[in-house]
Structure 1
Amino acid sequence: MEKLVLLRHGQSVWNLENRFTGWTDVDLSAEGIQQAAHAGELLKKNGYTFDIGFTSVLKRAIKTMHTTLEAMDLLWIPVQKSWRLNERFYGALQGLNKEEVAAQYGEEQVLKWRRSPQEHPPAIDPNDSRFPGHDIRYQHLTHRELPLTENLSETLTRVMPFWTEHIMASIRKQQKVIVCAHGNSLRSLVQYIDHLSDEEVTQLDIPTGVPLVYELDDNFNRIRHYYLE
């Protein structure tokens, strides 16, 4: 049996303001920093340790990882960052207030944009400053890899190579792994690990700053999972 810890970043300033965030690189709120520190304290108290960490290239996840590891006296372990663990790209919705969008398009449509694995939010124009092609951290991505919008199924598609080549590979080496990422990149991983249907994953919500522990067998099938609280 191997254990894998998944951790959604602590509350961000745009979580607090109820905005669609996506790949926008917003910071943690004060509460988010506290959540990350508390996660580390919980993990340490329960005897967890890690050999390697994986996170996105967005500061809210990176800072959550660092704050959690600091609380565990594990800042020294290697942490690998990848755009493949980024939040789902919300296209033209990024930066908009969710309540205002719901008032304009209806709550049912917004729920589909947020939760449905197949529903695309409105696409962004490549000339828009929010398009990731203008960000130096994504300069190595191909035209096809740079999203204009993204549904959950597409998020899963970009996460899976990293899961296979890096996260699973580390677990196979019997390394203890923590993944600190985002609501939707983690939802896509959970959908894969738990074999959830599209309908089931629509109902899935992963809280900020609470460690989600997976116990896996040798074939990476789930034995059980639970939140550490």
Structure 2
Amino acid sequence: MSKYALVLLRHGEGAWNKENRFCSWVDQKLSSDGVKEALDCGKLLKELGYEFDIVFTSILSRSIQTAWLVLEAMGQEWVPIEKSWRLNERHYGALIGLNRAEMALNHGEEQVKIWRRSYGVMPPPIDESHPYFFEIYNDRRYNTCDIAKDELPRTESLKEVLERLLPYWEDIIVPKIKEGRRVLISAHGNSSRALLKHLEGISDEEIANLTLPTGVPVLLELDENLHPIKPHELLGDQGAIQAAIKKVEDQGKAVASKT
């Protein structure tokens, strides 16, 4: 029998998701479709009887905006939200802003899949010549992080995402779960994949094949030691979810870019 239920959520579609660009730490609001995804997610969770006592997000707007809209649709706007950079999307380094399909044409689909999905491979690091470097590192949201600004990552593999996420998970989120708080984590595709890898013991090789679509809640039922009692479940219409997964996977295919 499960003792705890944890819900993970990749934010709704952002503007650069629609444009098929590596967004990473560049701050983006939700697209109109992303707003609908978040509201629909909240309506689904309400219909299924979910209630939350606390929500955790990254410090990127698309994660926070998704949490707001989900809670609004659930009629639970009063639920507190806590934010941390440790739940941010993976830092894609020099790839930030580039179109995935164009990258697949130039470097091959397999290389793009390695950059996007592998556990241990880091993209080339961002430096001051990058057009978004100063937008990211001059952003005052990082002034109050628990590490110095100059220690923030310049690129990350999924392994590094998990390593910077785990202290927050263990020190902040786990105690809330064990207190009996009902927790929603509204984060990103890679921070959610990293946490699922940790909790479910997914191998380094298998994690490359785990795809989370935007706006689809993921249910984890956990025992008293926070071990899953069964595989995670994507909630909602399964046909629509599979179509959404294929859409995400096809972003790395070598097709002519429309942007």
Q: Quick check: TM above 0.5?
A: yes
1:4 and 2:25 are equivalent in the alignment: no
Q: 1:217 is matched with which residue?
A: 223
Q: 2:143 is matched with which residue?
A: 139
- How does the TM-score come out when normalised to structure 1? 0.96
Q: 2:253 is matched with which residue?
A: none
Equivalent-residue separation in structure 2 for 1:164 and 1:145 (angstroms):
21
1:226 and 2:233 are equivalent in the alignment: yes
Paired residues of 2:143 and 2:149 also in contact (CA < 8 A): no
- The structure 1 residue matched to 2:154, chosen from 148, 163, 174, is 148
- The structure 2 residue matched to 1:58, chosen from 60, 79, 85, is 60
1:3-37: per-residue Cα shift (whole Å, max 9, x none)? 00001101111111000010110111111111101
Out of 76-85 and 219-228, give the one that drifted further.
219-228
Q: Residues 110-125 of structure 1: matches in 2 within 5 Å?
A: 110-125=112-127
Deviation at 1:115, TM superposition (A): 0.6
SS for the counterpart of 2:199 is: helix
Deviation at 1:202, TM superposition (A): 0.6
Deviation at 1:106, TM superposition (A): 1.6
Equivalent-residue separation in structure 1 for 2:200 and 2:191 (angstroms):
14
SS for the counterpart of 1:49 is: coil
Q: 1:177 is matched with which residue?
A: 183
Amino acid at match of 1:34: K
Give ranges in structure 1 of 5+ residues lacking alignment.
none
> Where has structure 1 moved over 6 Å in runs of 4 or more?
none
SS for the counterpart of 1:121 is: coil
Equivalent-residue separation in structure 1 for 2:47 and 2:143 (angstroms):
41
SS for the counterpart of 2:70 is: helix
1:206 and 2:212 are equivalent in the alignment: yes
Amino acid at match of 1:182: H
Equivalent-residue separation in structure 1 for 2:87 and 2:167 (angstroms):
10
How many pairs are equivalent?
Answer: 229
Equivalent-residue separation in structure 2 for 1:127 and 1:100 (angstroms):
21
Deviation at 1:145, TM superposition (A): 3.5
Deviation at 1:210, TM superposition (A): 0.8
Deviation at 1:197, TM superposition (A): 0.5
Equivalent-residue separation in structure 1 for 2:148 and 2:222 (angstroms):
34
1:117-174: per-residue Cα shift (whole Å, max 9, x none)? 1111111114545233322111243256311111000000011011111111100110
Paired residues of 1:87 and 1:185 also in contact (CA < 8 A): yes
Paired residues of 1:126 and 1:133 also in contact (CA < 8 A): no
Amino acid at match of 1:147: P
SS for the counterpart of 2:119 is: coil
Out of 95-104 and 65-74, give the one that drifted further.
95-104
Aligned-pair identity in percent equals 49
Out of 60-69 and 129-138, give the one that drifted further.
129-138
Amino acid at match of 1:21: C
Give ranges in structure 2 of 5+ residues lacking alignment.
237-259
Equivalent-residue separation in structure 2 for 1:52 and 1:101 (angstroms):
39
SS for the counterpart of 2:194 is: helix
Equivalent-residue separation in structure 2 for 1:179 and 1:113 (angstroms):
25
1:165-194: per-residue Cα shift (whole Å, max 9, x none)? 111110011000000000000000000010
Equivalent-residue separation in structure 2 for 1:198 and 1:207 (angstroms):
20
Q: 1:59 to 1:103 in 2, by over 3 A?
A: same
SS for the counterpart of 1:178 is: strand
